[in-house]
C-alpha cells in the first residue's frame, strides 16, 4: 500500500481522472487506449449482437416465447442434442482419460505424432469432418459396411451417427485438460501409497484418480458444451429426421430459412440458457470436488 | 527410465500387460476417430484419379470459394490480432476493477454455438432484423454478402489471440517495459522493441489457431452466407453444396485442401510447442 502510494506521487499516471479511480497507478502508457479499444470492439462484435438475440426473443412476449419453444419438434431436438452430447462427452471422458494416461506415462514409437494428432478435431474444419465421418460410417463405407455385415448396425443417418460426430469434435478436450494435471502430479504421493502397502489399483483409485477427477470433469464439461452447439460435423451424418435425429442448431437454421426470426431467436436463447445452467452445475460440482479433495 | 531400473512391475508404474492394453485401447480409439476419417478424405478425393481431383479444384466456383476464404481470413485474422494485443496489454500490464469479468466476456464467443454466432448477425442486420431495414434503405448489405461472412468469422475466432497472449504477458510481468520507459523509450518503442519480441511466439501460436478456425468455419458463415455460388460460398460451404449434389469426388477434393491446411496447422503448432515450449509455457492448454 505504501509503495503504491509513493509510486503514485513520483510517477505520472497514464489514465485520466476517471480511469485512475478504476485502476492502480502505473508508469506503463496506453491503458486508456487499449481498454477503450477492447471495450468498443467487444461491445460491437460480441455484446451488441448477443443483445439483438435477447431483444428478438423478448419481442415475442412471454406466451409467444413459450409457444415457440414448447412444441414437440423443438423439445425432441433438445432431447436429441443434449442427450447425445452427454453420451459423446461420457465416451470422451473414458477414452480421453486413457489417451492422456498413455501420452503422459508411457513412451512408444510415434509418441509425439500421436500427441500432435489429438488436436486434429480443433484444426480440421467441421464440414470436412462431417463428410469424412459420413463416408466412413455410411452403409457402403469402410466402417459402416463392417458394422452392417457383422452386427446389422446402421450408424450413419441415425442418432448413433450424431454421437460419433460429437465424440470426434469433443475428443481433444478431456485429453488436453487431464494431460497437464497428470504431468504435474507429484510422484511422492504414489510412492508413499505404494510403500505403505497399497496395491497398484488402490494407489490409482484412491490417490491418483481423485487428484485427476476435477480436470476430468472440466474436460467432460468442455466437450459437452462444444457438442451441444456443434453443427457442421453433425448435419452430414445425422439424417436430420425431425423428432429423431434433428439437433437444435439445425432447427435454428431451418427456422431462419423459413424467415421465422422470432422462433429462431427463442430457440437460440433457450439453448444458451440451458447450456449455461448445465455448465453452472458442472462448475459447482467441480468446485465441490476440489474442495473435498483439498480437505 | 525409473521403471526400467526397478524391474518390470514397479510399485508406482503399470505392469507390462496393463501398459500394452492401455496403449492398444488409446491407439485403437484414435485410429478409429482421427486417422481413418482423415485418410478417407484423401482416398475419396483421389478415387477418380489426379485429373478429376485437379479439375475439381480449378473449376471457377471452387476458385471463387478459395479466393473468398482467403479474403475473409485476411480481414478477420488481423482484426482479432489487433484486438488480442490491445486486450492483453490492458489486462496483463495493468490492475483494474472488473478485469475478471472482461476476461470472461472475451472468452464468451467460445461457448456460443456457431449457428447462434451467425444467427445474432442475421437478427441484427438481416432484412427482418433490428437495423436491417434501415441499412437496406441506405443501400448497405451485410447479410448474404461478404461483410456478414467477415463479421461471423470475427465472432467465432474472437478469443484466439487474446487468450494466448493474456496468460503469457501476465507471466512476463511489467519490469522490462518499466525499465525501457525509465531509460527514456516512448510507449510505442517499448512495445515494438521490448514487448513484441517477448510475445512473438505466443502471438504466432494464437494467429495460427485463429487462422485455422477462420478458414474452416462452417456453421456461423453458413447462416449468414445465403449460399450464392461463386459469390458468398467459402470453401467449407462449397464442400457442403458439392456433397449435397452427390458430387463426392469434387466435395472431397476441396475438403482435402482444408484437411491439408489443418495438417500444416498441426505441424506448425507442434513445432512451436517443441521449439519454444518454455516461452509458450503459460499458454499451453
Say how many C-beta atoms besides its own lie within 10 A of residue B231's C-beta.
15
Min Cα separation A266/chain B (Å)? 11
Q: What count of other Cβ atoms lies within 10 Å of the Cβ of residue A226?
A: 23
pLDDT at B5: 44
CA nearest to A208, candidates A224, A243, A239, A184? A184
Does B209 reach chain A within 8 Å, measured CB to CB? yes
Per-residue pLDDT of chain A (295 residues; tens, 9 = 90+): 334 444 444 344 444 556 666 677 788 888 999 999 999 999 999 999 999 999 999 888 999 999 989 999 999 999 999 999 999 999 999 999 999 999 999 988 989 999 999 999 999 999 999 999 999 999 888 998 889 889 888 888 889 999 999 999 999 999 999 999 999 988 888 888 888 888 888 888 888 999 899 899 999 999 999 999 999 999 999 988 888 899 999 999 999 989 888 999 999 999 999 888 887 887 788 788 878 777 6
Instruction: Answer whether A168 sits within 8 Å of B285, measured CB to CB.
Output: no
In the numeric block, which cell numbers belong to residue A62?
412471454
A258 neighbors A68 (Cβ within 8 angstroms): no
Burial class (CB in 10 A: 0-12, 13-18, 19+), B215: buried
Scanning the structure block, which residue is given the C-alpha cell 435477447? A54
Per-residue pLDDT of chain B (285 residues; tens, 9 = 90+): 444 444 444 566 788 899 999 999 999 999 999 999 999 999 999 999 999 999 999 999 999 999 999 999 999 999 999 999 999 999 999 998 888 899 989 988 988 999 999 999 999 998 888 888 899 899 888 999 999 999 999 999 999 999 999 999 998 889 999 999 999 999 999 999 999 999 999 999 999 999 999 999 999 999 999 888 888 999 999 999 999 999 999 999 999 999 999 999 999 999 998 888 777 755 444
CB B32 within 8 A of CB B242: no
CATH superfamily to which B49-283 belongs = MetI-like (1.10.3720.10)
Quick check: A82 and B228 in contact, CB under 8 A?
Answer: no
**B30 Cβ neighbours under 8 A, 6+ residues apart:** A99, A114, A117, A118
Q: How far apart, in whole angstroms, are the C-alpha atoms of residue B106 and residue A72?
A: 35
The cell numbers describing A146, all together, are: 463392417
CA distance B166 to chain A (A): 13
Distance between CA atoms of residues A57 and A80, nearest Å: 23
Using the Cβ of B259 and the Cβ atoms of chain A, whether some distance falls under 8 Å is answered with yes
Q: Distance between CA A261 and CA A259 in Å, rounded?
A: 5
Half-sphere exposure of A119 (CA within 13 A, CB side): 23
Give A55's contacts in chain B (Cβ within 8 Å): 123, 130
- Residue-level pLDDT at B3: 44
* Residue B78 vs residues A267, A293, B64, B72: alpha-carbon distances, Å: 33, 44, 22, 10
d(CA B178, nearest CA chain A) in Å: 7
Using a CB-CB distance cutoff of 8 angstroms, which residues of chain B are in contact with residue A114?
Answer: 26-27, 30
Cα separation, B224 vs B79, in Å, equals: 19
CB contact A199 to B (< 8 Å): no
What ipTM goes with this model?
A: 0.90
- Report helix angle B248-275 to A126-137, nearest 10: 120
Question: B186 vs A98, B103, B189, CA distance in Å?
Answer: 52, 28, 5
Closest residue, chain A, to B212 (C-alpha)? A123
Q: Do residues B125 and B135 lie in contact, with contact meaning Cβ atoms separated by under 8 Å?
A: yes
* Per-residue confidence (pLDDT) for residue B11, from 0 to 100: 61
The conformation of residue A43, written as its DSSP 8-state character, comes to I
Rounded-to-integer distance, Cα A111 and Cα A102, Å: 9
Instruction: Supply the angle between the helices A48-58 and A261-294 in degrees, to the nearest 10.
Output: 120
Choose from B116, B118, B216, B236 for mutation: most chain A CBs within 10 A.
B116
Q: Which residues pair with A23 in a beta bridge?
A: B96
- Give bridge partners of residue B96 from the DSSP assignment: A23
State whether CATH 1.10.3720.10 applies to domain A62-294: yes
Q: Is A158 on the interface with B (CB under 8 A)?
A: no
Amino acid at each position: 500500500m505504501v509503495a503504491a502510494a509513493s509510486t503514485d506521487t513520483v510517477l505520472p499516471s497514464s489514465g485520466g481522472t476517471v480511469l485512475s479511480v478504476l485502476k492502480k497507478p502505473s508508469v506503463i502508457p496506453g491503458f486508456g487506449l487499449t481498454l477503450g479499444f477492447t471495450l468498443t470492439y467487444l461491445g460491437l462484435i460480441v455484446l451488441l449482437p448477443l443483445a439483438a438475440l435477447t431483444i428478438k426473443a423478448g419481442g415475442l412476449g412471454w406466451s409467444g416465447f413459450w409457444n415457440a419453444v414448447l412444441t414437440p419438434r423443438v423439445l425432441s431436438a433438445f432431447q436429441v442434442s443434449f442427450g447425445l452430447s452427454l453420451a459423446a462427452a461420457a465416451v470422451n471422458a473414458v477414452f480421453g482419460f486413457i489417451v492422456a494416461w498413455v501420452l503422459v506415462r508411457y513412451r512408444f514409437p510415434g509418441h509425439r505424432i500421436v500427441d500432435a494428432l489429438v488436436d486434429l478435431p480443433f484444426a480440421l474444419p467441421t464440414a470436412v469432418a462431417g463428410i469424412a465421418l459420413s463416408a466412413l460410417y455410411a452403409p457402403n463405407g469402410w466402417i459402416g459396411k463392417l458394422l452392417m455385415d457383422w452386427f446389422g448396425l446402421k450408424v450413419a443417418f441415425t442418432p448413433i451417427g450424431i454421437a460419433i460426430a460429437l465424440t470426434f469434435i469433443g475428443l481433444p478436450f478431456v485429453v488436453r485438460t487431464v494431460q497437464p494435471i497428470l504431468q504435474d502430479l507429484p510422484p511422492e504421493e504414489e510412492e508413499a501409497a505404494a510403500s505403505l502397502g497399497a496395491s497398484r489399483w488402490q494407489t490409482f483409485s484412491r490417490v491418483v484418480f481423485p487428484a485427476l477427477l476435477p480436470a476430468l470433469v472440466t474436460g467432460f464439461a468442455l466437450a459437452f458444451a462444444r457438442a451441444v452447439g456443434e453443427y457442421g460435423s453433425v448435419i452430414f451424418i445425422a439424417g436430420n429426421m425431425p423428432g429423431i435425429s434433428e439437433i437444435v442448431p439445425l432447427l435454428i437454421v431451418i427456422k431462419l430459412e423459413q424467415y421465422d426470426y422470432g422462433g429462431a431467436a427463442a430457440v437460440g436463447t433457450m439453448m444458451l440458457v440451458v447450456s449455461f445452467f448445465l455448465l453452472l452445475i458442472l462448475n459447482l460440482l467441480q468446485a465441490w470436488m476440489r474442495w473435498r479433495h483439498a480437505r | 527410465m525409473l521403471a526400467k531400473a526397478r524391474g518390470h512391475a514397479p510399485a508406482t508404474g503399470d505392469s507390462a500387460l496393463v501398459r500394452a492394453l492401455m496403449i492398444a485401447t488409446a491407439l485403437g480409439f484414435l485410429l478409429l476417430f482421427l486417422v481413418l476419417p482423415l485418410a478417407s478424405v484423401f482416398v475419396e478425393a483421389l478415387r477418380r484419379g489426379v485429373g478429376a481431383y485437379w479439375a475439381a479444384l480449378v473449376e471457377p466456383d471452387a476458385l471463387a470459394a478459395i479466393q473468398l476464404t482467403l479474403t475473409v481470413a485476411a480481414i478477420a485474422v488481423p482484426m482479432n490480432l489487433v484486438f488480442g494485443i490491445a486486450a492483453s496489454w490492458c489486462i496483463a500490464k495493468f490492475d483494474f476493477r472488473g478485469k475478471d469479468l472482461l476476461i470472461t466476456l472475451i472468452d464468451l464467443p467460445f461457448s456460443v454455438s456457431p449457428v447462434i454466432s451467425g444467427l445474432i448477425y442475421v437478427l441484427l442486420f438481416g432484412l427482418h432484423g433490428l437495423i436491417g431495414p434501415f441499412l437496406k434503405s441506405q443501400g448497405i448489405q451485410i447479410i448474404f454478402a461478404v461483410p456478414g461472412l467477415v463479421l461471423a468469422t470475427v465472432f467465432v475466432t474472437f478469443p484466439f489471440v487474446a487468450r494466448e497472449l493474456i496468460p503469457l504477458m501476465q507471466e512476463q510481468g511489467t519490469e522490462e517495459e518499466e525499465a525501457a520507459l525509465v531509460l527514456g523509450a516512448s510507449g510505442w518503442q517499448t512495445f515494438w522493441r521490448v514487448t513484441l519480441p517477448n510475445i512473438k511466439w505466443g502471438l504466432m501460436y494464437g494467429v495460427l489457431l485463429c487462422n485455422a478456425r477462420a478458414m474452416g468455419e462452417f456453421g456461423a458463415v453458413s447462416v449468414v452466407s445465403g449460399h450464392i455460388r461463386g459469390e458468398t460460398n467459402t470453401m467449407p460451404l462449397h464442400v457442403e453444396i458439392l456433397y449435397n449434389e452427390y458430387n463426392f469426388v469434387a466435395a472431397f477434393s476441396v475438403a482435402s485442401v482444408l484437411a491439408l491446411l489443418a495438417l500444416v496447422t498441426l505441424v506448425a503448432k507442434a513445432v512451436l510447442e517443441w521449439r519454444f515450449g518454455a516461452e509458450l509455457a503459460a499458454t499451453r492448454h
